[in-house]
Structure 1
Amino acid sequence: MLNHEQKFPSKKGFVIYIPLIILFIVEVGYIAGGMYIGAVLVFAVMSAMFFPVFFNTYYAISTDGILRVKCGMFFNTKVAISSITRVENTRTVLSAPALSTNRIEIFYNKFDSVIISPEAKAVFVAELQKINPGIRYQN
């Protein structure tokens, strides 16, 4: 049987656009000052750090019962959906693979949790509950 994933992109809140605005201002400053090499270097470094996170943060539910949390090039966590006990809404600003402050926290195993921000939270949680009806969602 083939394993298929249903992908849910991360919601992008205003806060995630702040680095883009800062990058634009710095770039304009460098270009206005005639420092083209500096402009290229700043753009290259910021692009290497920011764009992979911005364009490659999503949450995938696979048909084999695994939730995959992907953020950028380095964060790739897998959670067995059968181990998820509850999901709660949160607005925490703690570092997380989420591009918005409108988040949910997924509790799994005994003491583990991950904070994410899917665009369609209710649909996302409903899909998790299809696989594990025991998941409690505190909206």
Structure 2
Amino acid sequence: MKKRFLSTKNTFTIAILWGLVLFLITMLVLNLTKGNIPVAPIIIISLVTAFILWVLLDTRYVIKNNFLLYRSGPIRGRVDITKIKSIKRFSGLNVPVMLKPALDTKGFIVTYNQFDDLFISPKMSDIFIEEIKKINPKIEVI
């Protein structure tokens, strides 16, 4: 059975990302109306805008068949829940983790395998922890 959790969203982060999207679209439209713009900048601006929109609209976590599946736009992966060692609550701008498929600065640092870490920010975090602990009760929640 699947359990889905959307990412919580930090207002400041969301405002910056949407502002960037609006700025890029405005720049694209203004340059297209002037004409004589090279194709390469149009493609680059369009791809960057699409990437940001994809991340904004598709960041979530799914618990399915003993795996934690995460996705944030094109960034996707899975973690074997039986190999999770600890889940630590974290809040702050400087998250000490390389992989951060999240839209908030408050969330969890999930430590699995020997040295692997992942930062996630699921809504309904208490239910999320309960569901993870059902699969692996040995997980240390810090």
TM range (shorter): 0.7 to 0.9
- TM-score, reference length from structure 2: 0.77
Q: What's 2:67 paired with? A: 66
Give structure 1 stretches of 5+ with no counterpart: none
- TM-score, reference length from structure 1: 0.79
Give matches, 1:11-50, under 5 Å: 11-13=8-10, 14-25=12-23, 27-28=25-26, 35=34, 41=42, 44-50=46-52
After alignment, is 90-99 or 11-20 more displaced? 90-99
Task: Report deviation, 1:85.
Answer: 1.2
Give SS of 1:21's match.
helix
Task: Report deviation, 1:43.
Answer: 6.3
Q: What's 1:56 paired with? A: 58
Q: 1:37 to 1:135 in 2, by over 3 A?
A: farther
Q: What's 1:79 paired with? A: 79
Percent identity over the alignment?
27
Equivalent pairs counted in the alignment come to: 132
- Work out the CA distance in 2 between the residues paired with 1:47 and 1:111: 34
Give structure 2 stretches of 5+ with no counterpart: none
Give SS of 1:110's match.
coil
- Work out the CA distance in 2 between the residues paired with 1:80 and 1:113: 12
After alignment, is 41-50 or 96-105 more displaced? 41-50
